[in-house]
Amino acid sequence: MRASPARLDWRVPVGAEVMVTRSDIPDREPARRLLAGFTTDSLPHASLGLLSGRRRIGKTTLARQTGGLLHTATDAGHRASLEKLRGDLAAHLGAPPPDFGTWPQALDVLLALGRDRAFTVVIDDTAELYRSENRILDQVAAAFDPARPEVAESRTRLLLSGSAATHFGEPLLRHKPLRERAVLDLRLEPLGYRAAAEWWGVGDPAVAMPLYAILGGTPVHRDLAGPPPLSAADIRDFCRRTVLEPSHELFDIAIRFMRDEIGPTDIGWYRTIPFTMAFGTASLLELAKHFAVEPVELRRHLATLVACGLAEKRANLLSPGDVLFRIAEPLLTFYHAMMRTDLGRLRRGYIHDFLWERRASRFSEMVLNPQWAAICREWAAGTDRFGEAVHVGRGYVRDPENMRPVSADVMVLGEPVDGGRPRLLAAGLCRWDAPVTAGDAATLRRAVELGAGRYDVSATRLLAFTGPGVESVPGLEIVTAGTVYEL
């Protein structure tokens, strides 16, 4: 294990934005190459690029590496925003820029600066600017109309960077006119489970997986949390001194994170739907039944959660026409499963051992095992262990014989043979910290039987994805945590 780097002071003012300050984030080299190509391309005209993604995942760090003018937007108001841009331009150019009093005029000034040479400008945190100037996206799209002579005669490279949704529930930089003008549309994702383990400097899957299930792949969380757990036995104490400690920056970061990403809209449904998903309701049909509404009434909210990267939508491989959702941000799952119902106690410091013990089953069933299943699906999609896999997902259905839920955590589909049905290459169940019982194996076999009407199950392999020390039962192939992590 490598030494833990110096961390930021987590005692930051409420509402302050904490950014990744290091540039050696794993898995970011492809994004760096794309940005470098955007700023140094040979296009004879001005071009627009978009860099989107959640907060705190390193967008600003990448933007700084372009070497151009970095303007960090604020919501201080129309006039103040323009004055700040003038100040940033003056500092970058070493001379006062031409006058401008509106954003269209400011954009024309930026285009004019690229007439004689390539000129890169990054407007960072565009969401803050949008709050005070909600026409800015249309104005940028209009300014970069290729028919305008200002665009044809300029080599300005304007990169808009930001996250969060508009008041229409659409992610900010998914604005259609803007995307039609952009030559680069780069969406930065949180770190995957392997890259997160590397970023934290943790080589033991017994520590890396629970840590990822709690804090996810947001790079700055490492600096906020400080040194990682030393062993699996230290996970509880790590949680108590970080996410469960009311004075810690990570304590309420999940709900602030959701407010930031959803944008200026009523977040009532956006709190209720993930809470229900965290407690195990994943099917769209069952979510609608739980809320006593038609599925169409949930679609817009679910679409916003998916578009913002807070939820994941996948086809239900055991129920045609249905889809399954899961919370895609682990920290949000941890908040809803482990904290939300006990926030009053936690804020009063009432976090004694017996309170954690009461929630131990929640931690296993709602935090660890669902995240382990997601990791295993990602592994199955990236390995050649199953041959020509074409789709990896999961399935859930109620057994028509007894109406009990039947599920397969991992389903690997292959191409049909000779025009037949798609092949179900493998079906698996995932247990991180609980034994795989004969009943679990029987449920998996029943899931395969129920899938026989849609898939060729003649050669389906039955798998058990297990955490450290978890034993399986005869008839199931074992895939261990060490195999999945390959560390």
Give the range with max mean pLDDT: 20-24, 219-223, 429-433. 429-433
- Copy the structure tokens of residue 96: 């006062």
Instruction: Identify the pLDDT of residue 262.
Output: 79
- Copy the structure tokens of residue 471: 């034993």
Q: What is the pTM of this model?
A: 0.87
Range 180-187 average pLDDT: 92
Closest CA to 51 of 126, 120, 119, 111: 126
Q: What domains are there in the chain, each with its CATH number?
A: 43-188 (3.40.50.300), 195-368 (1.10.10.10), 372-485 (3.40.1350)
- Copy the structure tokens of residue 322: 């249905």
> Which residues are CB-contacts of 161 (< 8 A; sequence separation ≥ 6)?
50, 51, 52, 59, 60, 63, 122, 123, 124, 125, 126
For residue 361, pLDDT over 60 is answered with yes
For residue 17, what pLDDT band results from cuts at 50, 70 and 90? very low
> Which residues are CB-contacts of 75 (< 8 A; sequence separation ≥ 6)?
81, 128, 129, 131, 132
Distance, CA of 440 to CA of 313 (rounded, Å): 25
Residue 172 near residue 164 (C-beta atoms within 8 A): yes
For residue 4, pLDDT over 50 is answered with no
Distance, CA of 284 to CA of 230 (rounded, Å): 39
In 204-252, where does DSSP find H-type helix?
A: 205-215, 220-225, 235-241
Taking only the tens place, the pLDDT of each residue in 230-273 is: 999 999 999 989 999 999 999 988 888 888 777 666 778 888 99
Is residue 466 classed as helix, strand or coil in its secondary structure? strand
Instruction: Identify the pLDDT of residue 460.
Output: 96
The residue assigned the tokens 């760090």 is 61
Instruction: Identify the pLDDT of residue 165.
Output: 66
**In degrees rounded to 5, what are phi and psi of residue 158?**
-100, 120
For residue 8, pLDDT over 80 is answered with no
Closest CA to 69 of 83, 89, 54, 49: 89
Strand partners, 261: none
Task: Considering only residues 85 and 6, tell me which one the structure prediction assigns the higher pLDDT.
Answer: 85
Instruction: Identify the pLDDT of residue 167.
Output: 58
Distance, CA of 119 to CA of 45 (rounded, Å): 11
Taking only the tens place, the pLDDT of each residue in 271-314 is: 899 999 999 888 888 999 999 999 999 988 898 888 888 899 99
For residue 333, what pLDDT band results from cuts at 50, 70 and 90? very high
Distance, CA of 179 to CA of 269 (rounded, Å): 28
| Distance linking the first and last C-alpha atoms of the chain | 11
Distances (CA, A) of 3 to 70, 202, 206, 230, 241: 32, 10, 18, 12, 20
Closest CA to 128 of 71, 180, 88: 71
Count of residues for the chain? 487
- Copy the structure tokens of residue 332: 């949000």
Cα 85 → chain centroid: 31
**In degrees rounded to 5, what are phi and psi of residue 343?**
-60, -40
Question: Where is 374: in which H helix or E strand?
Answer: helix 369-382
Instruction: Identify the pLDDT of residue 146.
Output: 93
| Of the candidate ranges 130-139, 392-401, 451-460, 475-484, the one whose mean pLDDT is the lowest | 130-139
Distance, CA of 108 to CA of 150 (rounded, Å): 7
- Copy the structure tokens of residue 351: 């976090």
Instruction: Identify the pLDDT of residue 2.
Output: 33
- Copy the structure tokens of residue 279: 């407690």
Q: Which amino acid is at 296?
A: V
Handedness of CA 452, 456, 458, 463 (dihedral sign): negative
Closest CA to 71 of 82, 57, 79: 82
For residue 445, pLDDT over 80 is answered with yes
Query: What is the average pLDDT value for the chain, to the nearest integer?
Result: 87
Taking only the tens place, the pLDDT of each residue in 399-431 is: 999 889 999 999 999 999 887 899 999 999 999
Closest CA to 457 of 428, 422, 408: 422
Range 211-218 average pLDDT: 95
Residue 297 near residue 288 (C-beta atoms within 8 A): yes
For residue 193, pLDDT over 50 is answered with yes
Residue 166 near residue 159 (C-beta atoms within 8 A): no
Instruction: Identify the pLDDT of residue 10.
Output: 26
Handedness of CA 141, 144, 147, 149 (dihedral sign): positive
Cα 285 → chain centroid: 24
Instruction: Identify the pLDDT of residue 337.
Output: 93
Taking only the tens place, the pLDDT of each residue in 59-113 is: 888 888 888 899 998 888 878 889 999 999 999 999 999 889 999 999 999 999 9
Strand pairing report for 47-53 and 182-188? parallel
Strand partners, 292: none
Instruction: Identify the pLDDT of residue 350.
Output: 76
Radius of gyration of the chain from its Cα atoms, rounded to whole angstroms? 25
- Copy the structure tokens of residue 73: 């937007």
Instruction: Identify the pLDDT of residue 13.
Output: 32
